[in-house]
Amino acid sequence: MSDKLPPTLSTRTPWEEIKNPIWPMTSFILRRSVNPYLFPAQLDEAMASQALSLFQEAFTHVKTLDSPKIFSSNELTPTERELIAEHFLEPAKLQKSGPNQAIVLDNPSTFLGLLNFDDHLELRMFTTQEDWEVSWNRLCQLEKELGALLDFSFNPRFGYLTSSLRDCGTGLKIRAHLHLPGLILKGQLDESLEAAQLEGNRALSFEADPGEFIGDLLHLENSFSIGIPENEILSSLIKSASHLAISEKKAREELKTEESAHIKDLVGRAFGLLSHSYELHAKETLGALSLLRLGLSLGWVEGLKDSDLSSLYFFARRAHLHHLENQTISQEELPHKRSQFLREKLRESKLTF
Amino acid sequence: MSERPVECSGCQKPIKYCYKVIEGNAISTSEMCADCPILTSKLRQGPQSESEEMQSQVLCCHKCHTTIEAIQRNSPLGCSECYLVFEGLIIEELLKQEAIAPRLRASIEVNRSIPLHLGGSPTKAPQEITLSKRLQELNSALNEALNKEQYEEAAYLRDQIKELMKKEHER
């Protein structure tokens, strides 16, 4: 369906090769504005077009990225934009893109550049490996290369200037994506968040809904971009995320020892839902996948690898399903297609209890 | 039945808003047009003083025309110049939104002129993390965990150190 996007985006998911199933991904986001342009929302058509050409030209000269491809917003279909948003775990923004905006992707599809969205440049890089500093260093390199070509808006008082006040200063957002079903099931999440000393960081759910952690996924991100240097933002977030990951590991070990009938029942029901339903909606699917992943880590599911299950977090989502089916699926048909896909994927797996 | 405010008795513009005030058991309702200055002053919780009115009419960014009101409404800024034009107001907003890192907040409350930004700049890029720096941090965290008798955390950190050393050795 989409042969213009990098193959790694359309055929693979970010979580196929995760190093730590509890902490599958860390994302880094840097925001920059460029002189002499007004911020994107204020640019008229001509200036927006001029600015965009300048930014696109800059990206053709960077060496840090592997075969970057630049797509103007109107080159991509809504489904392609949604596919990118799902891949990078970034919700609504991409789907609302307008003229004189562009998206940059690299070949491994671990980098996403947004040009002329809320700010002139939004540089996003993620890693699924534990050596997150490699990704951070790459982003620093990229920022340095672009900074040599473009005049970033900077003020000694407020740092890097952005359209949103909350993003000025370092312009840096870091997100640690954590899978915490053990802590949630044991009712220990609040206690663990407190013990992780989150000051300076905040916990968000998958779709930034504070009320519910969909798929038991929690995003830990820094609250402050100004008044703190980059290395402290990094070390504070990594410390809090590590603490939560350790707590989750401990919770899972306890669950394994306890052999709780209730938890086994939840895992069994999740397995049943995914392997025998006729229709599956996104939210219930992610919840069930989370329980199945937990079951797998506790040795209660066989016939599957964690990488297969982790990938289903992406493949079960709408744009990925459209892409796999190589056709547009109607809203009415989507739950059934999702269930068909998952039944096929779980065909060889079974519960061990 | 709700009516326009007395001051607006001559207004011919179509009604856009209904403004309801509930005080105890008494409810009063007014209808206003989209441009109603009475509505604006009610939303500001009181009439503007003449100087406030003049200030908000005069002070906007010369480059992008962003106004004080827009900033107070938490709308996005229009350009980098806004940070110079509205410096004081932006600091107030950052404090109000608790967007400044805590360690600086107390100092800023006392002295508004201290530097806010402590990170990198175009001439001094954000620091890359070298292997030795990462190891140093991990070792420091490991010692802290051992001192606090947090043995699970210590084990996790020790595994990370081993992994890093292994990668370096392979390289």
From first to last of its 353 residues, what are the pLDDT tens digits of chain A?
A: 457 888 788 777 888 888 889 999 999 999 999 999 999 999 999 999 999 999 999 999 999 998 899 999 888 988 899 899 999 987 667 777 788 999 999 988 899 999 999 999 999 999 998 888 899 999 999 999 999 999 999 999 999 999 999 999 999 999 999 999 999 999 999 888 888 877 788 888 766 555 678 889 999 999 999 999 999 999 899 989 999 999 999 999 999 999 889 999 999 999 999 999 999 999 899 999 999 999 999 999 999 988 889 999 888 888 888 888 877 788 899 999 999 999 999 999 999 98
| pLDDT tens profile A227-273 | 999 999 998 999 899 999 999 999 999 999 998 899 999 999 999 99
Count of positions (residues) in chain B: 171
pLDDT at A139: 95
pLDDT at B47: 53
Mutation to test the A interface, candidates B129, B140, B166, most A Cβ within 10 Å: B129
Bridge partner list, A226:
B100
In this complex, do B122 and A164 lie within 8 Å of one another by their Cβ atoms?
A: no
Mutation to test the A interface, candidates B63, B64, B80, B95, most A Cβ within 10 Å: B80
Q: Which residues 233-272 of A have a C-beta within 8 angstroms of B?
A: 234-235, 239, 242-243, 245-246, 249-250
**How many other C-beta atoms can be found within 10 angstroms of the C-beta atom of residue A343?**
15
pLDDT at A84: 92
pLDDT at A99: 85
How far is residue A162's CA from residue A34's CA, in Å, rounded to a whole number?
9
pTM, full prediction: 0.84
Q: What is the DSSP string of A190-219?
A: HHHHHHTT-TTEEEEETTS-TT--GGGEEE
Q: Is A336 on the interface with B (CB under 8 A)?
A: no
Q: Which helix (H) or strand (E) holds B70?
A: helix B68-72
**Could you tell me the CA-to-CA distances from B122 to A33, A118, B113 in Å, in that order?**
12, 21, 22
Residues of B in contact with A199 (CB under 8 A): 102
Residues of chain B below pLDDT 70: 1-2, 6-13, 35, 37, 41, 44-58, 171
Are A55 and A121 a contacting pair, CB within 8 Å?
yes
| pLDDT tens profile A300-317 | 999 998 888 999 988 888
For the stretch A254-283, what's the b/e string if a residue is b when 16 or more beta carbons lie within 10 angstroms of its beta carbon?
A: ebeeeeeeebbebbbebbebbbebeebebe
**ipTM of the complex, rounded to two decimals:** 0.87
Nearest CA in chain B to A246: B153
In this complex, do B80 and A156 lie within 8 Å of one another by their Cβ atoms?
A: no
Residues of A in contact with B152 (CB under 8 A): 246, 249-250
Mutation to test the A interface, candidates B77, B97, B108, B157, most A Cβ within 10 Å: B77
pLDDT at B33: 78
pLDDT at B81: 94
Residues of A in contact with B123 (CB under 8 A): none
